Amino acid sequence: MTQFIFILILFNLQILFGQNVNIQISDYSLKHNGVEYSTYQFVNSSYSLSRPTLIILTNKDLFLNFSNELSNLYKSKQEYTDVWILGITNFNQNGITFQEKEVIKVFLKQIMKYRSDNNLPLYTLESLESEIVILKNKDEICKYLTCRN
């Protein structure tokens, strides 16, 4: 009987402290300093406190592609549990304008606020800036995520 009670308590603790999170949030028509952009947040996490983050920067056309297909490409065994995508209209990765840099900074601050509000380990603005991945075409996303075949 003692073993049964112990096992019952153990399962209850696992349920209480387990964290299963599955989120998809899209904002398609945002504007800052005359720059139109869209954001997408995808979270698929089970029992992870650290919740490593992948930040993708791309143009608006690829953004629409990624935001529609990410949940299908994503496998549960990933290095990253949180994927954030910023799609800027007419984005040219070879010549990022001052206004686009401001949009990127606003986006990174949004990530920092989300992590703070959800009691996740915090990132500095500098560390998030160093983690940005710029994608130029659709096939590059599988370099950073373990995609389903």
For residue 7, give the H/E element and its range. Answer: helix 2-17
From the list 144, 145, 106, the residue with the least C-alpha distance to 128 is 106
Task: Confirm whether 85 is domain-assigned.
Answer: yes
Task: Confirm whether 7 is domain-assigned.
Answer: no
Task: Confirm whether 50 is domain-assigned.
Answer: yes
pLDDT tens digits, 3-16: 666 565 655 555 54
The answer to whether residue 112 scores a pLDDT higher than 70 is yes
Range of 68's domain?
20-143
> Which phi and psi angles does 41 have, rounded to 5°?
-120, 130
> What's this model's pTM, rounded to 2 decimal places?
0.81
C-beta separation of 79 from 49 below 8 A: no
Percent of the chain at pLDDT above 90?
Answer: 42
Task: Confirm whether 48 is domain-assigned.
Answer: yes
Percent composition of the chain: helix, strand, coil (DSSP 3-state, to 5): 40, 30, 30
Task: Confirm whether 126 is domain-assigned.
Answer: yes
| Domain count along the chain | 1
C-beta separation of 85 from 110 below 8 A: no
Task: Confirm whether 132 is domain-assigned.
Answer: yes
d(CA 16, CA 10): 10
d(CA 123, CA 109): 10
Q: What is the mean pLDDT of the chain?
A: 83
Buried-exposed string 117-130: b where 16+ CB fall within 10 A, e elsewhere: eeebeebeeeebee
pLDDT tens digits, 75-85: 656 667 789 99
pLDDT tens digits, 17-68: 556 777 888 988 899 999 999 999 988 877 666 788 889 999 998 998 888 8
- Please count the CA atoms within 13 angstroms of the CA of 127 that sit on its side-chain side: 8
Task: Confirm whether 119 is domain-assigned.
Answer: yes
Mode of pairing for the β-strands spanning 20-32 and 35-46: antiparallel
**Torsion sign (Cα): 109, 129, 98, 141:** negative
Task: Confirm whether 13 is domain-assigned.
Answer: no
